[in-house]
């Protein structure tokens, strides 16, 4: 089944846990996954880019993310798609931050009406899986069809292409 697909992703390069150690990533794991999915689906990429950048220092970033979560912050984004009306499916890619999505992803989701859209969540992590992100997406987008998500350990994202293809095919008839 042919679908018009938007791959909206939030990713952060810099200090990240990778196989139990802090490393400096030149490209965020979630961006790698989003670009792989774009190749598989011919979907259009959109980077969820906060106006105020997060620190590349891991510990500083996690403290800011924790404060944003507790404050229910909705950080302003650099830009937004003009519309999502032309898309049948949105593949939403994000890292697990404090058990859910980063607050800029909430900002993105609350901007649009996802009624009748298919949302496929993909979460990168280093051991915490999807957390409560699927439930959070469903709360924000109650009239969307939120499919079962795929969680990928960030440290193996480059080798997760087969898992992504299977997930896309089984959950939405793509890839």
Per-residue pLDDT tens digits for 86-126: 999 999 999 999 999 999 999 999 999 999 999 999 999 99
| Rounded mean pLDDT, 1-8 | 82
CB 3 within 8 A of CB 172: yes
Neighbours of 129 (CB within 10 A): 13
Radius of gyration of the chain (CA): 15
How buried is 137 (Cβ within 10 angstroms: 0-12 exposed, 13-18 middle, 19+ buried)?
Answer: buried
Residue with tokens 């909206």: 8
CB 122 within 8 A of CB 147: no
CATH of 5-170, one of 1.20.58.1690, 3.40.50.360, 1.20.1730.10, 3.90.228.20: 3.40.50.360
Global pTM value: 0.95
Rounded Cα gap, residues 56 and 155, in angstroms? 18
Rounded Cα gap, residues 152 and 107, in angstroms? 23
CB 7 within 8 A of CB 44: yes
pLDDT value at 10 more than 50: yes
Tell me the pLDDT of the chain averaged across its residues: 95
pLDDT digits (tens, 9 = 90+) for 33-65: 999 999 999 999 999 999 999 999 999 999 999
Give the distance from CA 94 to its chain's centroid: 2
Give the distance from CA 42 to its chain's centroid: 17
């Amino acid at each position: 089944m042919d679908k018009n697909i938007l791959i909206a992703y939030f990713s952060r390069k810099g200090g990240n846990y990778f196989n139990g150690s802090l490393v400096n990533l030149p490209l965020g794991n979630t961006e790698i996954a989003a670009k792989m999915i774009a190749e598989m689906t011919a979907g259009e990429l959109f980077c969820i880019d906060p106006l105020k950048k997060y620190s590349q220092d891991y510990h500083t970033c996690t403290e800011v993310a924790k404060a944003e979560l507790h404050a229910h912050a909705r950080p302003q984004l650099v830009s937004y798609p003009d519309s999502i009306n032309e898309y049948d499916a949105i593949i939403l890619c994000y890292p697990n931050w404090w058990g859910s999505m980063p607050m800029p992803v909430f900002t993105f989701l609350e901007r649009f009406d996802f009624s009748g859209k298919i949302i496929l969540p993909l979460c990168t992590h280093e051991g915490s899986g999807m957390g409560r992100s699927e439930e959070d997406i469903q709360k924000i987008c109650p009239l969307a069809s939120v499919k079962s998500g795929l969680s990928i350990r960030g440290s193996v994202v480059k080798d997760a292409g087969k898992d992504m293809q299977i997930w896309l095919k089984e959950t939405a008839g793509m890839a």
